[in-house]
Chain A
Amino acid sequence: MMRQSSPLLHVLLWVLLSLATLFPIYWLFVISVKPAVDLFTTPSLILDTFYWKNYVNVVGNATLRGYMYNSLIISTSNAALVTMLAFLSCYALSRYDLAGKENIFFWTITNRMAPAAVFLLPFFLLFTQVFVIGEWRLYDSKVGMVLLYCTFNLPFAIWTLRPTMDGIPRELDEAATVDGATTWQVIHEVVLPLARPGLAVTFILTWVFAWNEFLLAATLTSFNARTITTGLSEYVTTTGTEWGTMASIAVITLIPALIIFSMVQRHIVAGLTFGAVKE
């Protein structure tokens, strides 16, 4: 494996790996364009039927469109907020000599350790009874979901960004400070450009985690902030699963994630020269 192998072997290996990676997604698509009666016939690996009715049903459904919109707003706001806060936090953790900062760093990640199922009950009670201002309550609000998703995304972001931040040489900051740059200028003109690849990766990953979250959204929203994953789950029950509809919502759910992903993918590639910046 470590020996100098020919590019052809390399490509062949990756083709096989890619087939394994893609097959489940391909199969999801195949099922999404099959009428229900065809599911129980002899499976064929080749896409032989195009039954678009499943998609027509989904797109024509105003409720599902609303869920999609909610998901977009919630995950984008959450990813932006989380990336910004994590950037500031990591800068502080990396550059300042704060008392007990390593304990704070470890504490942040403990927020991600709890099984989500555990906190459904307290969150539900807090959101419906404690975080209430007059008529307005955090339950079933987009703001609530954005803040709530910080509990698992913010620790993740801080832990992914910290190595990046520690990897940017302090000498650069110090040199800029000596040249009379303010803290803001150091952050904005020295650290931020170097941290950009790390920030891009953090943003996509947190966006995707928020977009994909299911358990909390299913419990803490009813309509105004209901997300597409919960909409999807409504078609999957133990008794009678509407496989076709479910699969087509799943495929549609994949599309925005794919678009965002392909946009930031270029950023990651640009970030590959990152190593060259370091001493």
Chain B
Amino acid sequence: MRSNTVGWLMLAPTIAILGIFGILPFIYVLYVAFHQWNPFGANPDMVYNGANNFRRLVFDGEFLFSIGVTIKFAFFAVLSEIALGYLLAQLFMREFPGRGLFRTIHTLPLIVAPIVVGSVWRLMTTPSIGIIPYFLKSWFGYDLNIGRDAGAAFTLTVLMDIWHWTPLVTLTLLAALLSLPKEPFEQAQIDGANRWQIFWHITLPMIRPAILATVFIRLMDALRTVDEVWMLTSGGPGAATRYVGLHIWKIVFPKTDYGYGAAISVIVLYLTLVMCWLLYVALVAPRQKKQEAE
């Protein structure tokens, strides 16, 4: 094995950049979280107030609701994207006319800016000008009003997320499927395995790292969604789609309650970390143990 110094040198710039732009703000946010600070409030100075912000947070119904609805959103969106993305990746594994063209089309939503996605969906669903409420009304007599109907607003944010992000899942899973060796599949077919057995015993274990990485990325992004939902519903109606990123924004900016906003941020970051760590442990650790045993 070559000298590890070279390895560390290759990692150094990454560690430096992420240290300065990742850790420094985090320490700062942690510091602010233990203070009462509203620069535009009655007392504009930063005042140390111990864990008061955190104490307030535990009983804050709005915050707890926001956490709950964010998790619900992330769960439905990511689950659908993984399932749909995998199916589409499998379909792309076959030869059929126009495959390249369809793949290009399917990948298009990825390059659309979240803020544009939000605007487009708002354009399509706003009651007076939207095309979707118009056709739902004239064909099915269903009155879609995302300004009033909380369930419809929630569903639309999930659909929007699926439209926007399934292509990413398809792309990463397709790359994983294509990099699989052919022999185990040929062998399994010779041995008379059916498609389900091949999927369950060969494909799934082999592409599990790719699925895991994709779930991670998507879960984290879904939990911090702001731009699209901000454009589509502004968190409404009421607080039905006020996902946690939006909630923090509303505390930090219009209310300029920096101390409390910082406390919420710290907790959200902590919850996200714990959730991902649990997922990581649950899915990766057993496999590693198995490998070590072999």
A interface vs B, CB < 8 Å?
1-2, 7, 10-11, 13-14, 17-18, 20-22, 24-25, 27-28, 31, 39-40, 42-43, 45, 85-86, 88-89, 91-93, 95-98, 104, 106-123, 125-126, 147-148, 150-151, 154-156, 158-160, 162-164, 167, 177, 183, 197-198, 201, 205, 208, 211-212, 214-215, 229, 232-233, 236, 238, 243, 246-247, 250, 253-254, 257-258, 261-262, 265, 269, 271-272, 274-275, 278-279
Contacts and interface: CB of A to CB of B under 8 A. Distances in A.
Given A7-B97, A10-B96, A274 B178 contact: yes
A113 B106 contact: no
Contact of A18 (B105, B110, B224): B105
A147 B178 CA distance: 33
Interface of B: 1-2, 4, 6-8, 10-11, 13-15, 17-18, 20-22, 24-26, 28-29, 32, 87-88, 90-91, 94-98, 100, 102, 104-117, 119-121, 123-124, 128-131, 134, 163, 168, 171-172, 175-176, 178-182, 195-196, 199, 209-210, 213, 216-217, 220-221, 223-224, 226-227, 231, 234, 244-246, 248-249, 252, 258, 261-262, 264-265, 268-269, 272-273, 276-277, 280
Contacts of A7: 95-97
B110 A117 contact: no
B22 A151 contact: yes
Given A113-B276, A117-B245, A11 B97 contact: yes
Given A39-B129, A121-B258, A163-B210, A18 B106 contact: yes
Given A113-B276, A229-B115, A243-B129, A275 B178 contact: yes
A225 B266 CA distance: 29
A25 to B, nearest CB: 7
A20 B22 CA distance: 38
B252 A159 contact: no
B166 to A, nearest CB: 9
Contacts of B280: 106
B226 A160 contact: no
A208 B109 contact: no
A104 B124 CA distance: 44
Nearest to B182: A275
5 contacts: A85-B14, A92-B7, A115-B269, A151-B22, A269-B100
B11 A92 contact: yes
Contact of A88 (B10, B87, B121, B130): B10
Contacts of A150: 17-18, 21
Contacts of A274: 175, 178-179
A151 B49 CA distance: 30
Nearest to B194: A2
A165 to B, nearest CB: 12
B213 A160 contact: yes
A186 to B, nearest CB: 9
Contacts of A229: 113, 115-116
B179 A278 contact: yes
B112 A254 contact: yes
Nearest to A276: B182
B111 A261 contact: yes
B18 A98 contact: no
B7 A28 contact: no
Contacts of A88: 10-11, 13-14
B224 A254 contact: no
A229 B102 CA distance: 28
Most buried by B among A92, A121, A151, A156: A121
A96 B11 CA distance: 11
A214 B90 CA distance: 33
Nearest to B160: A24
A177 B6 CA distance: 15
Contacts of B277: 106
